[in-house]
């Protein structure tokens, strides 16, 4: 019997950007006992995907070369592993693939059952594939800043930087669902868009107030969801309440040193580096919000798998409004 093969996009070493991506035919993977084989419909690209290619997470990721990147997918179940009883062939799902193995830029991929949830008809494949990393990072960042999603929040002010980006646009909506007062930063062209997502006040990051992060209404921030880079602690610190926290979703070595120093000096103001911990319950919560129309996905651009390099370049350029999607 002939081996089943699929179209995929992979790279064979660190670096190279979009030029390092190669279109190949490879065997369709088989699901292990607690995995599901999916026929992919959509995959979203996150900055971490090309950062792995650049070698920013070596020697941990990727686990081996050649490597098929991307982990956030939506598709249809084709086959289930022997220990899987919660899904069957034909089910539509959203999944986060194992980061060690990748696999999202391909026609088929295997997903861990623990990070796979049903996709209701109200949620498109594009919306579903956008959620696992970006929306879950926004959710976990808000929780790390003290936000609850059970209706028990006290009045609280949050600042969200880069609020029109992949994580930022979800953070604005989730913060408003939790009844927070939201101040947001973005580029001038996206101010009205970010307001439409629910932000109470929006700063153009290139203006003096945007650079200093000062709230137009004079508020201090109980938490900051920091979705960009290049802003130092000295800019955040005067804008925080006594116990204010900055949740840094792209921690650098310098920010981690700041975090340690804040702990050593027993500062009440904290810089908290956040690394996403994938959780099936978070993904289920987010998909349900999308189903109910309470969490909308901004799609910057869509590309076919044959033009994955263009999607990769768009993400590296760093000015996407919302999510970048590859459709199969």
Same domain, 115 and 141: no
Same domain, 88 and 143: no
**Is 216 a domain residue?**
yes
**Is 157 a domain residue?**
yes
Same domain, 160 and 264: yes
**Is 290 a domain residue?**
no
Q: Are 300 and 308 in contact (CB under 8 A)?
A: no
Same domain, 82 and 206: no
Cα(172)–Cα(240) distance, integer angstroms:
18
Same domain, 74 and 166: no
**Is 104 a domain residue?**
yes
For each of the chain's 328 residues, which pLDDT tens digit applies? 356 999 999 999 999 999 999 999 999 999 999 999 999 999 999 999 999 999 887 777 888 899 999 999 999 999 999 999 999 999 999 999 998 889 999 999 999 999 999 999 999 999 999 999 999 999 999 999 999 998 888 889 999 999 999 999 999 999 999 999 999 999 999 999 999 999 999 999 999 999 999 999 999 999 999 998 888 889 999 999 999 999 998 765 555 555 556 555 556 888 888 889 999 999 999 999 999 999 999 999 999 999 999 999 999 988 889 999 999 9
**Domain housing 165:** 135-273
The count of residues in the chain is 328
Same domain, 159 and 268: yes
Task: Output the pTM of the full model.
Answer: 0.93
**Is 139 a domain residue?**
yes
Beta-bridge partner residues of 178: none
Both tokens of 103, joined, read 């696999």
Packing angle between helix 280-291 and helix 125-144, nearest 10 degrees?
A: 120
Q: Strand 323-327 relative to strand 299-304: parallel, antiparallel, unpaired? A: parallel
The count of structural domains within the chain is 2
Packing angle between helix 166-177 and helix 125-144, nearest 10 degrees?
A: 70
Same domain, 139 and 262: yes
Could you give the C-alpha distances from 151 to 26, 145, 178, 187, in angstroms and in order?
49, 16, 7, 32
Same domain, 146 and 104: no
Q: Give the single-character DSSP code of 11.
A: B
Same domain, 146 and 229: yes
Q: What are phi and psi of 289, to 5 degrees?
A: -60, -40
Looking up residue 242, the CATH number of its domain turns out to be 3.40.50.720
**Is 130 a domain residue?**
no
Same domain, 210 and 256: yes
DSSP 59-70: TTSSSSSSB---
Task: Locate all alpha helices (DSSP H) within the chain, ordered by sequence.
Answer: 47-54, 125-144, 166-177, 191-196, 208-212, 233-236, 253-264, 280-291, 308-317
**Is 266 a domain residue?**
yes
Looking up residue 30, the CATH number of its domain turns out to be 3.90.180.10
Same domain, 259 and 175: yes
Same domain, 139 and 99: no
**Is 284 a domain residue?**
no
Strand, helix or coil for residue 278: coil
């Amino acid at each position: 019997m002939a081996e089943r093969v699929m179209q995929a996009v992979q790279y064979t070493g660190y670096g190279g950007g979009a030029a390092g991506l190669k279109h190949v035919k490879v065997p369709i993977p088989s699901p292990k006992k607690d995995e599901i084989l999916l026929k992919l419909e959509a995959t979203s690209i996150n900055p971490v995907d090309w950062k792995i290619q650049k070698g920013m997470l070596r020697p941990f990721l990727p686990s081996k070369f050649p490597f098929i990147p991307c982990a956030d997918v939506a598709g249809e179940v084709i086959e289930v592993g022997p220990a899987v009883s919660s899904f069957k062939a034909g089910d539509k799902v959203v999944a986060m693939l194992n980061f060690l193995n990748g696999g999202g830029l391909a026609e088929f991929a295997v997903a861990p059952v623990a990070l796979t949830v049903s996709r209701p008809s109200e949620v498109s494949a594009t919306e579903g594939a956008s959620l696992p990393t970006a929306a879950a990072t926004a959710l976990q960042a808000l929780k790390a800043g003290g936000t609850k999603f059970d209706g028990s929040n006290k009045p609280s002010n949050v600042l969200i930087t880069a609020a029109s980006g992949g994580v930022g646009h979800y953070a604005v909506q989730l913060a408003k669902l939790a009844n927070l007062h939201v101040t947001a930063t973005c580029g001038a062209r996206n101010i009205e868009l970010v307001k439409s997502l629910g932000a109470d006040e929006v700063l153009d990051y290139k203006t003096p107030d945007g650079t200093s992060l000062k709230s137009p209404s004079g508020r201090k921030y109980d938490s900051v969801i920091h979705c960009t880079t290049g802003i130092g602690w000295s800019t955040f610190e005067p804008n925080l309440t006594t116990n204010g926290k900055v949740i840094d979703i792209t921690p650098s070595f310098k920010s981690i040193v700041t975090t340690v120093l804040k702990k050593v000096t027993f500062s009440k103001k904290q810089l908290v580096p956040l690394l996403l911990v994938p959780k099936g319950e978070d993904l289920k919560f987010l998909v349900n919000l999308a189903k109910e129309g309470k969490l909308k996905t901004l799609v910057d651009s869509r590309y076919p798998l044959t033009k994955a390099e263009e999607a990769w370049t768009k993400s590296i350029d760093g000015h996407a409004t919302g999510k970048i999607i590859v459709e199969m």
